Amino acid sequence: MPPIRIVTAVILDDAGRVLVVRKHGSDTFIQPGGKREPGEDALRTLARELHEELGVTLRQAPVRALGRFEDDAVNEPGRRVQGESFLVQVDGTPHAQAEIAELAWIPLRPPHGVKLAPLSERHVLPAAWRLAGAGQPG
Residue ranges and CATH numbers for the domains of the chain are 4-133 (3.90.79.10)
Query: Is 136 buried (19+), middle (13-18) or exposed (0-12) by CB count in 10 A?
Result: middle
| pTM, to two decimals | 0.92
Which pLDDT does position 61 carry in this prediction?
83
What residues in the chain have per-residue pLDDT under 50? 135-138
**Proportion of the chain above pLDDT 70, given as a percent:** 96
**Which amino acid, 84?**
E
CA separation for the pair 132, 27 (Å, rounded): 27
